[in-house]
Amino acid sequence: MSSPVIYRVEDQIGHIILNRPNHTNALNEEMVVMVVEALRVAEEDPDVKVIILSGEGKSFCIGADLEVMMSLENARETTKWIELTSSLAKTIVDLDKYVITAVQGYAAGAGFSIALASDFIIAERKAKFALNYSKLGLIPDLGMTKHLVEHVPLRVAKEWISSGKEISAEEALEKGIVNQIINGNANLLKTAIDFSQFIINGAPLCNKYVKHLLNRAGSSNLDVALMNENMVQTVLLQTEDYKEGIRAQFEKRKPQFTGN
């Protein structure tokens, strides 16, 4: 029996692959636990500069496995399941390292929430992002109510959620949800890898602090944002990477950052 999650490291990229293609990569407890664990392993691995999250088969992830949802018999089991799945989105957001999600087919429900929690999304042109919660009598979870309104106006988010909207990759690109769309599933992972090169070649500490500062910018006023920027900049101005960046500018070459 194959593992529901595949993890491997290649060329400074931590690849986390959802591997339940016969279930359209629907989330069950084992898969969620394994993805969270793989994210933490990648975070601690100094050889990993960026993480790419993808799915085997025709779709990235159609959301929670309905058989799991229907098996929840009481408040204790339901709470445990909700807290577990929510931890997946929070782990992605809280990581120091950037996460790129590669989407083909459907990213529906929790699958869409996971993609929104990531830092960048690369999508195949025929991909669909579906908010099917209302059709089940549910509301979005895994942070979608926050992450969606960071991309689209409040009125649009309300319409999409309450109508069970299915968003094309083209519309997602137009709304700033997706960074790039490409033709053909065969090119999807390669495009995500190519996209990741600016992260791999960038200064790791810079990437870390940019992610954390921007993820929290919406809840900060200007005074707090300036204070946070000033503290981080004070630290970065004392790093070896900053000195390397200055040397590279004078020597007219690409800098070789080490994260120090």
How much is the pLDDT for 208?
A: 95
Tokens encoding 216: 């929290």
| pTM beyond 0.85, yes or no | yes
Give per-residue burial for 167-206: e unless 16+ CB within 10 Å, then b: bbbeebbebebbbebbeebeebbebbbebbeebbebbbbb
Domain ranges of the chain: 5-200, 204-251
What is the amino acid identity at position 150? E
Tokens encoding 116: 């929104």
How much is the pLDDT for 1?
A: 67
How much is the pLDDT for 69?
A: 85
Q: How far apart are CA 97 and CA 208, in angstroms?
A: 6
Q: What is the CATH number of domain 5-200?
A: 3.90.226.10
Which residues, including other chains, have CB under 8 Å from residue 231's CB and lie 6 or more apart? Answer: none
Tokens encoding 138: 């549910």
Q: What are phi and psi of 7, to 5 degrees?
A: -125, 130
Crossing angle between the packed helical segments 204-215 and 222-236, to the nearest 10 degrees: 170
Contact present, 27 and 65 (Cβ < 8 Å):
yes
* Local mean pLDDT, 10-residue blocks, the chain (260 residues): 93 97 96 97 97 97 90 91 95 97 97 97 97 90 93 94 95 96 90 96 95 88 91 93 92 91
Instruction: Sort 45 into a burial class: Cβ within 10 Å, 0-12 / 13-18 / 19+.
Output: middle
**Could you tell me which of 118, 114, 120 has the C-alpha nearest to residue 193?**
120
Spatial strand order in the sheet of 180-182? 5-10, 13-18, 50-55, 99-103, 120-124, 180-182
Which residues, including other chains, have CB under 8 Å from residue 215's CB and lie 6 or more apart? Answer: 93
What's the distance, Cα to Cα, between the start and end of the chain in Å? 42
How far from chain centre, in Å, is Cα 243?
A: 31
